[in-house]
Amino acid sequence: MVLTEEINRILASSENRGWVLEPDAKNILSQAGLYVPEFRFAKTLEQALEGAAVIGYPLAAKIVSPKALHKSDVGGVAVGLENDDQLKEVFERFSRFEEFMGVHIEAMAEGLELIIGAKIDPQFGPVILMGIGGTSVEIYQDTAIRMPPLTPAEVQCMVDSLQARRLLYGYRGKPAVNMDKLTETLIGFSMLVVEMADHIESIDLNPVMCNADACVIADARIMLK
């Protein structure tokens, strides 16, 4: 795969900021054939309500602002919104934030929270990370790191090297993660990373919601060089 015009345009326009805004990041991933929840970037409340009507509740809403790299740290994430009233309240709250550009609204995804990441290592070049995701990812550090290109066998080996691998194979009545989709996601992502290696510093896809049917990237942070 070569980088599409759209991806190049987004990377160029984000260069000065040093990172890619959520709707742009989701666009890049979607262009690369990866699964992201259906989303809208709403600059006005009307656009948000229109978008919500198409996607349907429950929804997640995230602030879009060049000042909000760590969205949850600044109170810029609301999940499980059930109706127009709640969306309206969140939109108004977010709109008071510094350099507010709009609200990213998207469908809620469910499943096991994984992290899929990438980093350009000074000694080894691009490397891909996969493991147990969520907000405590740095506490448990239950992850595997590999150099691309990844193969299905290598992905299997990454999964099996996790302490918490049983969670992926279905634990206490929960269905197993769809391994084909996870493999597809990791391989597709690793190809994108190799293509973008000159532009990026690191990427967090966290969480990636994995269930029996799909792996959906719920949040994406792309840090540029």
Per CB under 8 A, residues contacting other proteins are 19, 69, 115, 117-119, 121-125, 127, 129, 131, 137-138, 141, 143-147, 154, 201-204, 206, 221, 223
Report d(CA 83, CA 136) in Å as an integer: 30
Coil, strand, or helix at residue 88?
helix
The residue among 52 and 64 lying less far from other proteins, judged by its C-beta, is: 64
To other proteins, the closest distance from the beta carbon of 194 in angstroms equals 12
Roughly how many angstroms between the first and final C-alpha of the chain, as a whole number?
21
To other proteins, the closest distance from the beta carbon of 80 in angstroms equals 23
The residue among 27 and 206 lying less far from other proteins, judged by its C-beta, is: 206
Helices 22-31 and 5-14 pack at an angle, to 10 degrees, of: 150
To other proteins, the closest distance from the beta carbon of 90 in angstroms equals 25
- Please tell me the chain's helix, strand, coil percentages from 3-state DSSP, rounded to the nearest 5: 35, 30, 35
The residue among 63 and 127 lying less far from other proteins, judged by its C-beta, is: 127
Long-range (24+ apart) CB contacts under 8 A made by 13-16 are 14/222, 14/224, 15/199, 15/224
- What separation in angstroms does the CA of 95 have from each of 68, 98, 151? 12, 8, 44
The residue among 13 and 151 lying less far from other proteins, judged by its C-beta, is: 151
The pair of structure tokens assigned to 67 is 């000042």
To other proteins, the closest distance from the beta carbon of 17 in angstroms equals 12
Strands (E) across 19-124 are located at 19-20, 39-42, 59-64, 77-81, 102-107, 112-121
Name the strand (E) or helix (H) holding 85. helix 84-95
Strands (E) across 65-167 are located at 77-81, 102-107, 112-121, 125-132, 143-146
The residue among 77 and 118 lying less far from other proteins, judged by its C-beta, is: 118
The residue among 83 and 141 lying less far from other proteins, judged by its C-beta, is: 141
To other proteins, the closest distance from the beta carbon of 23 in angstroms equals 19
To other proteins, the closest distance from the beta carbon of 121 in angstroms equals 5
